[in-house]
A and B are shown apart, each in its own frame.
Chain A
C-alpha cells in the first residue's frame, strides 16, 4: 500500500537522524577531553548520508515501485581529519614538552547548530509519519 511505503521511507529518515544525533552528542561530550602527550586526541565524527530505496518494502512486493521513492541510510561514520586545536597550557598534566595541550577539533557552537538541525530534521520525518498514518486512517472511513 502506497502509504505504508511512505511510512517506511520516513522511518529510514528517523533512524538516520537519530544516529546523527548520537554522533553529534558524542562530539559535544568529548569537546574538551584531552589525552596524555603523544596520544591522539579525540577527533570529531560525522555521519555520511546516502539515498537508498527502502529495504524489504511493500513497494517491491506490489507493483508500486518508483525510482523516485528513496529513503536514506547512513553509509558510514567518518572522522574529521582536521588538526587538533593546540593550546598553550604549560601547567596541564597532558602538556607536551613545549607546553602545548592538544584539544579535540570540536567547535561546540557548530555542534550545537548541527544538533538543532538534526532535531528539526527528525521532527519533520516524524510529522511525515503522522501524516501518512492519518491518511491511512481516513481511507478506512470511506467504508463507514
Chain B
C-alpha cells in the first residue's frame, strides 16, 4: 500500500508501518506453519520501528509541487522494507527446530491489534484531511 502523495511524514510512516505489520504476519505464519519442521529456524520482524526504519526521506526538495509541474515527479518519502532477522534466543529442540509456540501466538495477537489500531488512526487522519478539502461543509 504505497500512499506516496503527501509530504506528511506521519501519514507515510503509518502506511509503511502497516506494510511492516503485514510482513510480520507473514513471518509469524511461516513460523507456525513450520512449527514441526526439523531444522527450521524461526525468523521475526520487530514490532516497533523508528521513522528512519520506516521511511526514506529524500528531503524537502523531492515531492515539491514545483518539480511535479516541471514533470520531475519524485515522492519525498519512500517506504522501506521491514528487516527480517533470525530468532536467536529461543531454545532449540532435539530436531533442530526452535519455533516457540507461545511466543508466536503472542506475536499474532500483537500484530493484529497493532494493525487494527493503525487503521483506526489512519481513518481519523483522513477524516481531518477530508474536512479540510470539504471546507467543513457536511453537505
Residues on A close to B: CB < 8 A?
A: 1-3, 5-7, 9-10, 12-13, 16-17, 20, 49-51, 66, 68-72, 117-118, 120-121, 124-125, 127-128, 131-132, 134-135, 138-139, 141-142, 144
How many B residues, CB 8 Å from partner?
A: 36
Most B CB within 10 A of own CB, among A12, A69, A71? A69
Q: Which residues of B contact A (CB under 8 A)?
A: 1, 18-19, 21-23, 25-30, 32-38, 40, 43, 84, 101, 104-105, 108-109, 111-112, 115-116, 119-120, 122-123, 126
Chain A, interface SS category:
helix
Number of residue pairs across A and B with beta carbons under 8 Å? 116
Known A-B contacts A70-B34, A72-B34; A51 and B18 likewise in contact (beta carbons under 8 Å): no
| Cβ–Cβ contact B33 & A70, under 8 A | yes
Name the one of B30, B116, B119 contacting A70, with C-beta atoms under 8 angstroms. Answer: B30
> In the assembled complex, how far is the CB of residue B30 from the closest CB belonging to chain A, in whole angstroms?
5
Q: How far is the CB of A142 from chain B (nearest CB, A)?
A: 5
Shortest distance between the CB of A115 and any CB in chain B (Å) = 13
